[in-house]
Amino acid sequence: MTFRTRFAPSPTGPLHLGHAYSAIIAHDMARANGGKFLLRMEDTDLQRSKPEYDAQIIDDLTWLGLTWDGPILRQSTQIDSYTPAIDKLAAADLLYPCSCSRKDIQAAQSAPQEDALPAVYPGTCKTRSMSTRQTGDALRLHLDRALDTFGPDLPNFIETGPSHEGTHPIRRSVATEQIGDIVLFRKSDAIVAYFLASALDDHSQAITHVVRGEDLFGFTPIQVLLLTLLGLPTPLYHHHTLIRDEAGKRLAKRDDARALSKFRAEGYTPADIREMVGLDG
């Protein structure tokens, strides 16, 4: 099996050191394994994705000396490719339409969630069937019914990264308390949600190893569930540790002070960047 991994930035902001670290790790793992490194622009957020960020990402990665195999996959150019997955989940009676706004959902939460995962949906529209779907409704996964399809044994996934190495069985209680009925199809722009598009493209790009930051580890059970529900194989996952600032805070994309372009403008070299993120060579 040829090792195939990817870097999958969302072009909603400039690349910062944390992205550079992630891209270099994935790239170097692919090259060290005689494998392939693919580039995917996760630009399904039509409001926040910008062509100038897309162009800047390519420029920054090229400047870093990274090369990728094959054409860049831009999710916005193949929205229709996600429809069969939605249709399949709907045909299996695993989706329901939802007209709640973000505000409705927040109002129904007892406490705000601090975690990176979206807040668990309180279930206001859960009893609706697909036959009541209106234009403009979102579509949610009916998690209970989805979990029931597996019987007592939920899928596992294999993690090779340093902090969570091993086999991870998905637990029903964790899925219900931390994942819940996630949106798979957004009403704002009629596009499938990140979890689904990203997992489907890991499959369409034949990714064998998903290499990405530890902040996304919590998304893995959802993606594994979705792929398995769709009858698709799951890749191996490798979540690397994150680059933090002096105060221990994770670098965010809007943290412009750390944008790679700033370092470039100040005369840093790609070797300096590798050294700064602790990857010499």
Answer yes or no whether residue 18 interacts with ligand GLU by CB under 6 A.
Answer: no
Instruction: Work out whether 117 is an interface residue with ligand GLU (CB under 6 A).
Output: no
Give the rounded distance of the alpha carbon of 220 from its chain centre.
8
Tokens (6 digits) for 135: 């234009």
Residue 45 within binding range of ligand GLU, rule CB under 6 A: no
212 binds ligand GLU (CB under 6 A): yes
Amino acid letter at 209?
H
User: What's the rounded Cα separation, in Å, for the pair 173 and 51?
Assistant: 41
Smallest distance, ligand GLU to C-beta of residue 216, A? 5
* Contact call for residue 8 and ligand GLU (CB under 6 A): yes
State the minimum distance, in angstroms, from the CB of residue 215 to ligand GLU: 8
Rounded-to-integer distance, Cα 143 and Cα 121, Å: 11
Which of 8, 100 has the CB closer to ligand GLU?
Answer: 8
42 near ligand GLU (CB under 6 A): yes
Q: Interface with ligand GLU includes 79 (CB under 6 A)?
A: no
Using the minimum distance from each CB to ligand GLU, give the nearer residue, 8 or 94. 8
Least separation in angstroms between CB 90 and ligand GLU: 24
Which of 8-16, 136-144, 164-172, 177-185 is the region at the interface with ligand GLU (rule: CB under 6 A)?
A: 8-16
Contact of 33 with 273, CB cutoff 8 Å: no
- In terms of phi and psi (left: phi > 0; alpha: psi -120 to 50; beta: otherwise), the region of 267 is left
| Planar angle of CA 166, 171, 173, nearest 5 degrees | 145
Tell me: does residue 216 bind ligand GLU (CB under 6 A).
Answer: yes
Please say which residue, 220 or 228, places its beta carbon nearer to ligand GLU.
220
- With the C-alpha atoms ordered 241, 244, 248, 252, is the resulting torsion angle positive or negative? negative
Does 10 interact with ligand GLU (rule: CB under 6 A)? yes
Q: DSSP letter string over 43-72?
A: ---TTT--HHHHHHHHHHHHHTT---SSPP
Among positions 9, 13, 118, 235, the unique one binding ligand GLU when judged by CB under 6 A: 9
Closest distance to ligand GLU from the beta carbon of 54 (Å): 12
| Alpha-carbon gap, residue 71 to 197, rounded angstroms | 18
Which listed residue (44, 49, 56, 198) binds ligand GLU by CB under 6 A? 198
Q: How far is the CB of 34 from ligand GLU (least distance, A)?
A: 22
Minimum distance of ligand GLU from residue 231's CB (angstroms): 21
Question: Strand pairing of 156-159 and 183-185?
Answer: unpaired
How many angstroms separate the CA atoms of 175 and 156, rounded?
A: 13
Structure tokens at 263: 């370092």
Q: Which residues bind ligand GLU (CB under 6 A)?
A: 8-10, 42, 198, 212, 216
